[in-house]
Amino acid sequence: MAIRQILRRSFHGERRPAEVPKGHLAVYVGEIEKKRFVIPVSYLNHSSFQELLHRAEEEFGFSHPMGGITIPCSEDLFVDLLSDLSRT
């Protein structure tokens, strides 16, 4: 899936979160303002994504303030990671 499709799906209906398609999950990314991204669950297998999840666990534990997985990194870093993962 191309990065543009992921981002378009993520920002669609940002005021009212769109449903998450089968095989995907919603994550919230950002250091101050959190943005919602919908990503394929297959990304969970990649070591670089697992590192972000580990950081999220250290910072938030299992109580996520947004009601979903919150990843404490910059949006730019996350978009770069998605771009790398979409090429593999």
Predicted pLDDT of residue 62 = 62
Extract the tokens encoding 41.
């669950």
Predicted pLDDT of residue 23 = 92
pTM for this predicted structure:
0.69
Predicted pLDDT of residue 3 = 55
- 35 in Cβ contact with 17 (< 8 Å): no
Q: What length does the chain have?
A: 88
Nearest to 39 by CA among 80, 88, 86: 86
User: Per-block average pLDDT, block size 10, for the chain (88 residues)?
Assistant: 53 58 88 87 90 80 66 88 84
- 75 in Cβ contact with 65 (< 8 Å): no
Q: How far apart are CA 1 and CA 83, in angstroms?
A: 10
